[in-house]
């Protein structure tokens, strides 16, 4: 079961970073290269505890749908989303935020299980873990850019 662990250092207030990380609108900006869009559940604004979103995107040339639900949240310290249905066998994504020295440390812990048994494990090793890491890094870079360049947080729900 692969686990991706990333830390992103952002020169912005923890609450602003927290809100940007749960913005449906900014998520769509950060994944525009996959044509990802929210098609059901919470489709704009800031996702909250117990809310779900269904995403449609093109990965590896195939249009896919994935639904996730916010299963835990403590503003502005963390939130956790978990896959309800989608291409993975399962996933749990922890988003953790900590203020330190005038910065916010945004930590992602993305724990997933690929489908298809040994073939899924081979895909993880060959390309999937790197692909997922790159998606998260790109998303985090967009959050960082918005947080550091919109200090009032005004882009959190209307990105």
Per-residue pLDDT tens for 45-95? 999 999 999 999 887 788 889 999 999 999 999 999 999 998 888 999 999
* CATH number of the domain that residue 16 is part of: 3.30.530.20
CB atoms within 10 A of CB 149: 9
Whole-angstrom CA distances from 143 to 43, 80, 123, 139, 153 are 18, 17, 28, 6, 11
pLDDT tens, position by position, 10-46 = 999 999 999 999 999 999 999 988 889 999 999 999 9
User: Domain range spanning residue 69?
Assistant: 3-149
Q: In whole angstroms, what is the distance from residue 85 CA to residue 26 CA? A: 22
Q: Please report whether residue 37 resides in a domain.
A: yes
Any domain includes 139: yes
Residue 91: Cβ within 10 Å count: 20
For residue 101, tell me if it sits in a domain.
Answer: yes
Does a structural domain hold residue 159? Answer: no
Q: Is residue 155 one of the residues assigned to a domain?
A: no
154 inside domain:
no
Q: Report how many domains make up the chain.
A: 1
pTM given for the model: 0.89
**Does any domain span residue 39?**
yes
């Amino acid at each position: 079961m692969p686990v991706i662990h990333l830390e992103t250092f952002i020169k912005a207030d923890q609450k602003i970073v927290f809100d940007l990380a749960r913005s449906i609108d900014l998520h769509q900006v950060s994944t525009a290269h996959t044509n990802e869009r929210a098609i059901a559940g919470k489709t704009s604004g800031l996702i909250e505890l117990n809310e779900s979103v269904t995403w449609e995107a093109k990965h590896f040339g195939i249009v896919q749908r994935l639904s996730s639900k916010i299963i835990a949240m403590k503003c502005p310290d963390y939130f956790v989303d978990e896959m309800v249905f989608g291409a993975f066998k399962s996933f749990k994504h922890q988003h953790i935020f900590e203020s330190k020295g005038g910065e916010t440390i945004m930590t992602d812990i993305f724990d997933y299980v690929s489908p298809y048994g040994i073939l899924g494990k081979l895909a993880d090793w060959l390309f999937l873990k790197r692909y997922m890491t790159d998606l998260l890094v790109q998303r985090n870079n967009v959050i960082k850019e918005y947080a550091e360049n919109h200090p009032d947080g005004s882009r959190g729900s209307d990105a």
